[in-house]
Amino acid sequence: MALDADVLGLALYNARGHFNNRTMDDLLGEYETANGIFLAVCKADAQAIIDHFTTHAVIPGTGLTAPDGPVTGETTIT
């Protein structure tokens, strides 16, 4: 499957869900500072993006070369 904005958008939405409908006091209790909360949100977004790439990215092998000749087919990022 190719990269997809709908799938990635849902993954980001879900990653941010942990922070929704919580009070600032709850979040500060868990992350200590506003910057800590912001960093946690950014890390959740980054993990969702990394997971999306490793799950859905497909790289064509056509045009690449190896020592014994041209590469064909495709590979996935892991």
Distance of alpha carbon 2 from alpha carbon 56, whole angstroms: 6
Query: For the chain, how many structural domains are there in total?
Result: 1
56: β partners: none
Distance of alpha carbon 35 from alpha carbon 15, whole angstroms: 18
**Single pTM value for the model:** 0.71
| Cα angle, residue 78 at apex, residues 46 and 61 outer, rounded to 5° | 120
Using one digit for the tens of pLDDT, what is the confidence trace for 23-68? 999 999 999 999 999 999 999 999 999 999 888 877 666 666 778 8
Domain that holds residue 68: 5-76
